[in-house]
């Protein structure tokens, strides 16, 4: 399994934090790199959640969430949101959108999502959402993840 994980890790990706509000009304975030664009019309994107995540039920049952593509200077936030626990974001790390969905401040791009399909797939579930709003900061460099390490574009 480690060998397959290492082979998957050859695929250089960006890093995202998926955000939403928990049952106590607090902004939470989880680090992922399984983000993929799916469709332009209708606008769809996906990510996958591991079945053994402590927050599995939360993410499979949260209708409104956001996928935030992290900037090169946000490796610390990525590490924070990859730790098991309550995943609650600190003051100033996110701000609510007009629709009340927390968005990561300083992200390269943000996609506000409405969950439309949950597809079981092995040890993960694929969450497909429709993009309802998005932002794009063209001039901000993205964080890159490759072979288990954070990198920046040359
Ligand atoms: C770069 C990176 C990418 C990750 N991608 C995913 C992912 O796509 N899906 C996922 O479920 N977990 C992913 N994780 C792991 C989660 O961030 C981590 O397992 C989770 O936050 C652990 O806490 P939990 O059990 O409370 O979910 C990734 C972690 C890192 C550092």
Domain ranges of the chain: 2-152
Atom of ligand 1 nearest to the CA of 49: 11
- Within the chain, which residues score under 50 in pLDDT? none
Distance from Cα 127 to the centre of ligand 1, integer Å:
14
Rounded Cα distance between 112 and 90, Å, is 20
Model pLDDT, residue 87: 97
Q: Which residue puts its alpha carbon closest to atom 11 of ligand 1?
A: 49
Distance from Cα 11 to the centre of ligand 1, integer Å:
16
Model pLDDT, residue 57: 97
Rounded Cα distance between 104 and 68, Å, is 6
Q: Which residue puts its alpha carbon closest to atom 4 of ligand 1?
A: 32
Q: 32, 54, 80: which to mutate for ligand 1, most atoms within 8 A of CB?
A: 32
Continuous segment of H or E residues that includes residue 17: strand 16-21
Model pLDDT, residue 154: 83
CATH assignment, 2-152: 2.30.110.10
Atom of ligand 1 nearest to the CA of 78: 31
Rounded Cα distance between 48 and 32, Å, is 8
Pocket of ligand 1 (CB under 6 A): 15, 30-34, 47-50, 53-55, 78, 82, 84, 145
pLDDT digits (tens, 9 = 90+) for 88-126: 999 999 999 999 999 999 999 999 999 999 999 999 999
Rounded Cα distance between 75 and 122, Å, is 29
Note the pTM of the prediction, 2 decimals: 0.98
Model pLDDT, residue 76: 98
| Residues 6+ away with beta carbon under 8 Å from 86 | 22, 26, 28
Continuous segment of H or E residues that includes residue 129: strand 124-136
């Amino acid at each position: 399994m480690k060998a397959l994980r290492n082979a998957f890790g050859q695929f250089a990706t960006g890093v995202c934090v998926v955000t939403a509000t928990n049952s106590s009304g607090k902004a939470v975030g989880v680090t992922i790199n399984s983000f993929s664009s799916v469709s332009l019309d209708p606008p769809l994107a996906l990510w996958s959640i591991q079945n053994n995540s402590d927050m599995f039920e939360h993410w499979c049952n949260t209708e409104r969430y956001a996928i935030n593509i992290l900037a090169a200077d946000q490796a610390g936030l990525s590490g924070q949101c990859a730790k098991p626990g309550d995943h609650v974001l600190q003051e100033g790390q996110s701000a609510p959108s007009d629709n009340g969905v927390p968005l990561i401040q300083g992200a390269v791009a943000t996609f506000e999502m409405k969950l439309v399909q949950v597809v079981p797939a092995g040890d993960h579930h694929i969450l497909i959402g429709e993009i309802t709003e998005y932002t794009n900061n063209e001039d901000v460099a993205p964080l890159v993840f490759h072979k288990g390490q954070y990198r920046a574009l040359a």
